[in-house]
Structure 1
Amino acid sequence: MPKEPWTHRDEAVGGLRLHWVEAGEGPLVLLLHGFPEHWLAWRHQVPALASAGFRVVAPDLRGYNLSEKPKGVSSYRMELLAGDVANLVRHLGYQRTFLVGHDWGGAIAWCVPALHPGLVEKLAILNAPHPILFRQKLATFAQAKRSSYVFFFQLPYFPERSLLRRRAGFLKGMLRRDPVTFGAFSPDEIEAYREAFLVPGAATAAINYYRAAFRTGTRIPGLRRSLDGVPTLVLWGEKDRYLGPELLDGLEALVPDLRVVRLDASHWLPADAATAVNSELISFFRGR
């Protein structure tokens, strides 16, 4: 059996046990996955970025897969999620990081510079709207319809029961149906996501991200001007069924140093357009 191109670590970080994979040496690149994936979302990016001269770390976010699953909706407030990022960077012996986030990982990544100024050297976002723009667009019928699952997740108990039916069968349908690239997710990869979602407490933890956002809000002090001096790359799959391209409208007013690249891909950009994503990230972090 071939050796994995990464190593697994499981350690206490800021009082919370986190699992992550890492590879390579050099400047730190931290990769934050989204719902309902885990570190495996970055299986194409970790070896590519490591070969390009970076130390690449892809954690399971709190509540996901092999990381600790704190109980209660309040355990998933944005301040704590961003704090996990800052704690991990320092735990790894760094003062700054290149930060990449997809979906919920992107939502966290948008907020880290406001909550932890100076921590992010460069920011890359994959199909994740800026929280200010998402709050505005969610009031429109088009985006509210695409994000109807967000409102469903506010219900108690029933969302978990629904998502766990047929061994988290929703994952199989979604990850087969959505991508533009045929076979973007292999059967083994889909099964790995299903198994992780079935871990006791994992489904509730993942849904609690959405509950916490609604109950406590994502109005982060200083968020509107937090990206001054932070070069930012946004990669956007234009075939996203959940997040419309209009969520990019007005982004340049919030991000002074911005480059947007639109790709013919689905929401699941790291898998659906892996080669393009790798090329763009490496070029961006190398300064070209």
Structure 2
Amino acid sequence: MEIKARGLTFDVFEGGPSEGDPVLLLHGFPQDHREFDLLAPKLHEAGLRTYAMDQRGVSPGARPADVGAYRITEAVADAVGVLDALGLESAHVIGHDWGANVGWMLAAWHPERVRTLTAVSVPHPKALQLALRTRPAQRARLAYFKVFQSAAAERLLLANDAAALRWMLKPIGERAELYVEANREPGRLTGGLNWYRALTFDQLKDVRLISVPTTYVWSDKDGVVSLTAALRTRDWVDADYQMVAMRGISHWVPEQAATALSEAAITRIQGV
């Protein structure tokens, strides 16, 4: 369905029993709502109602031209706006990659809207900042940000039949083609990359302790997030908390380990 919020139109894909507790699903880059295709049915079986939104830059009706419009604070406001438009006072939130960042900030700034948080792959922003300051290896893991922020990023990712994009998504096998083809759509890849271009650490300075029940899911084959950042996330949750470590899984948890992720998320949601 199309949801109008904040002057934009977001594509939102709902599923599961109509009376089920609501779950807001927030995707990352370079994916879209389909990264939850394998997870959502398991949540539906547990009696949950899911709302997977294509965030700004991905929804065709939500692609502002200005890079500044892709500040993470805008994405958090989008999530609030979509919840408002759906008539939901609050929801359980599951976010992966950039969606996890939105989830952390949504829980920090609007805890009354978040029943539980399951953050996948990306740790609490303050824990990641600490690792960046103290661990050269973490800085090396995020070196690709400079490439994604460059004016040449679109050309580099789509060159040679999107070889770089395919390499990034190799762990999810044939499903990578979904996102390779989607990112050929005019404006789609630029919209996703603008999240990187608009990122400044001043947007994170007011991210505070999380006061809602939280599970953080980290995987040991994730090339983006170090163990230090994962472990220090605990310092930033002042509520019931669990860290789930997945072995042999890459950054693309929702598609590579949907069953294990569903178990972690359902345990978190049903534990309230």
2:58 — aligned with what?
64
Deviation at 1:68, TM superposition (A): 2.1
Letter aligned with residue 260 of structure 1: M
Is the 1:60–1:66 Cα contact (8 Å) retained in structure 2?
no
1:103, 1:126 within 8 Å by CA — same for their partners in 2?
A: yes
Select the residue among 241, 247, 260 that pairs with 2:243. 260
TM-score, normalisation: structure 2 = 0.92
Counterpart-to-counterpart distance in 1, 2:262 and 2:120 = 12
SS in 2 for 1:165: helix
The answer for the alignment partner of 1:6 in structure 2 is none
Does the 8 Å CA contact 2:96/2:122 hold for their aligned counterparts? yes
Q: Select the residue among 126, 138, 155 that pairs with 1:143.
A: 138
Query: Is structure 2 residue 254 aligned with structure 1 residue 270?
Result: yes
Match in the other structure for 1:4 = none
Aligned residue in 2 for 1:100: 94
1:81 aligns with 2:75: yes
SS in 2 for 1:185: helix
For 1:67 and 1:49, the matched residues in 2 are separated by 28
Cross-structure match for 1:244: 226
Matches for 1:179-190 after TM superposition, within 5 Å: 179=171, 184-186=172-174, 189-190=175-176
Work out the number of aligned pairs and report it.
Answer: 267
Question: RMSD of the alignment, in Å?
Answer: 1.7
- Give the secondary-structure state (helix, strand or coil) at the position aligned to 1:100: strand
Residue 47 of structure 1 corresponds to which residue in structure 2?
41
> CA contact under 8 A between 1:107 and 1:130: conserved in structure 2?
yes
Corresponding letter in the other structure for 1:273: A
- Deviation of 1:220 after TM superposition, in Å, equals 4.4
Which moved further from structure 2: 21-30 or 249-258? Answer: 249-258
Between the aligned partners of 2:61 and 2:13, the Cα distance in structure 1 is 12
Tell me whether 1:202 sits opposite 2:184 in the alignment: no
Whether the 8 Å CA contact 1:79–1:115 is kept in 2: the answer is: no
The Cα shift of 1:119 comes to 0.6
What secondary structure sits across from 1:94 in the alignment?
coil
**1:53-107: per-residue Cα shift (whole Å, max 9, x none)?**
1110111111015452111111111221001111111111110010011111001
Match of 1:29 among 13, 19, 23: 23
Q: Assess, with a 3 A threshold, how the Cα gap between structure 1 residues 52 and 46 changes in structure 2: closer, same or farther.
A: same
> Sequence identity, in percent?
34
**Structure 1 residue 118 displacement after superposition:** 0.6
What does 1:9-24 correspond to in 2, within 5 Å? Answer: 9-24=1-16
Shift of 1:14: 2.6
Long gaps (5+) in structure 2: none
Q: Which runs of 5+ in 1 are unaligned?
A: 1-8
The structure richer in helix per residue is: 2
Q: 1:17 aligns to what SS in structure 2?
A: strand
- The amino acid of 1:210's aligned partner reads Y
Find the partner of 1:279 among 263, 268, 271: 263
Q: 1:283 to 1:11 in 2, by over 3 A?
A: same
1:38 lines up with 2:21 in the alignment: no
How far off its partner does 1:124 sit? 0.4
Superposition deviation, residue 173 in structure 1: 1.9
Runs of 4+ in 1 over 4 A off after TM superposition: none
Match of 1:218 in 2: 203
